Amino acid sequence: MSIIDIHIHLSDIESFRRTAIDLSSVDYTAAGLKAEFDKNGVVLGIGMGVTEQTKGAFPDSSSPNPMGLDLEPSVPPFLMECVGINPNRLTGEHALEELDKIEARLQAPEVAGIKLYAGYYHHFVYDKIYGPIYELAERYRVPVVIHTGDTYSMNGLLKYSHPLTVDELALQQRGVNFMICHLGDPWVMDAAEVVAKNPNVYADLSGLVVGDAAHFERFMNEPLFMDHFRRALVYSDHYEKMLFGTDWPLAPIGLYAEFVRRLVPDRFHEAVFYRNAFDVFPRIKQRIAVL
State the residues that interact with Zn ion by CB under 5 A: 247
Residue 261: burial class (beta carbons within 10 Å; 0-12, 13-18, 19+): middle
DSSP 8-state secondary structure symbol assigned to residue 63: P
> CB 279 → Zn ion: shortest distance, Å?
20
* Residue 206 identity: S
* Residue 118 identity: A
> CB 223 → Zn ion: shortest distance, Å?
26
Name which of 60 and 247 has its Cβ closer to Zn ion.
247
Name which of 99 and 229 has its Cβ closer to Zn ion.
229
> CB 146 → Zn ion: shortest distance, Å?
11
- Nearest Cα neighbor of 9 from 271, 285, 245 is 245
With a CB cutoff of 8 Å and minimum separation 6, the contacts of 196 are 235, 236, 237, 238
Q: Cβ-closest residue to Zn ion?
A: 247
> CB 247 → Zn ion: shortest distance, Å?
4
| Alpha-carbon torsion, ordered 208, 211, 214, 219, to 10 deg | -20
DSSP SS3 for 226: helix
> CB 152 → Zn ion: shortest distance, Å?
7
Name which of 98 and 247 has its Cβ closer to Zn ion.
247
